[in-house]
Amino acid sequence: MAELIARAKQKIRADGSLALLLSAFTFATHFIRRRVIGLYVIATGDRVEYNGVTLDLSNDQITPAQRSAFKFGTYEDAERRCVDAYLSREADVIELGASIGFLSCYVDNVTTGEQISVEANPELIETLERNRELNGGTFEVCHAAYAPTEDTVPFTVDTNFLEGHVGESARSTSVPAVSLAGLAAQHDLDDFVLVTDIEGAEIELITTELDLVAACCPLVIIELHPDLAYSISEMVSQFEAAGFDIVGEEDNGNAVVAVFERT
């Protein structure tokens, strides 16, 4: 038997097409499994309990495969671990990119300070507010896109709720814009933790408001996406030049969740 297995492995190594076929089969099996689990979530009420947070997932922008991430324990898990490790209980928090509200509700459970959660996608606001209500949340929901030099911006509502972004397209709609300076002034915050996942718009944060971040934020938890203008390592260097040390880092597929602490 062992000899047969060894021969099979040798055949796979020698025959690239067979290896490719096996790889495609594994991918298809995993995709089908995720979809089946997601359909089960829908069929059983479309609500999940995830890391102490109750989430209503009844939103057409969330695919069955994406629903399965809550059963596999992978949805925003890197961000959650960073919150557990570094966020203090008394912190005030501004969150940019609240999405459907998992991390918003999770942070609300961790801290006793003021919290403002900002989300641009108009098709997620109802879900975000419903999840806040389900968890007895006290944080404020702000429907706006992060765009510090604009009053309004076009926001592309992608069929994948994870991929919405500022920019003009056939699926874009106009949404209000906010800056970090404006949010801080409106809520009278001069010392707050910044938690942000804004799908590449962190470049604007770095190029436009990093001085404000350095003055007001003792801690930043940020998802960094590689950009044509800046690599992730260059973005890290910008934070370090502004007076931060990188104290935590979690790989998140094609992005990195980084934790910066002001020195």
Q: List, in order, residues 6 or more apart from 118 with CB less than 8 Å away.
A: 94, 95, 96, 97, 98, 142, 143, 144, 146, 178, 183
Sheet with strand 165-166: strands edge to edge: 145-146, 172-178, 152-156, 165-166
- Single-letter code of the amino acid located at 46: D
Contact at 8 Å (CB) between 119 and 98?
Answer: yes
Reported as a single tens digit per residue, the pLDDT across 153-176 is 999 888 778 778 888 888 889 999
pLDDT, tens digit, for every residue of 19-43?
555 555 555 565 566 778 888 898 9
Taking the alpha carbons at both ends of the chain, their separation in whole angstroms is: 61
Whether the model clears a pTM of 0.75, i.e. scores above it, the answer is: yes
Sequence spans of domains, the chain: 1-72, 76-262
* Residues 41-78 pLDDT 10s: 989 899 999 999 999 999 999 999 899 999 999 999 99
> Mean pLDDT in the chain?
88
Strands 165-166 and 115-119: unpaired
The CATH class for the domain spanning 76-262 reads alpha beta
Per-residue pLDDT of 196-244, as tens digits, reads 999 888 999 999 999 999 999 999 999 998 875 788 899 999 999 999 9
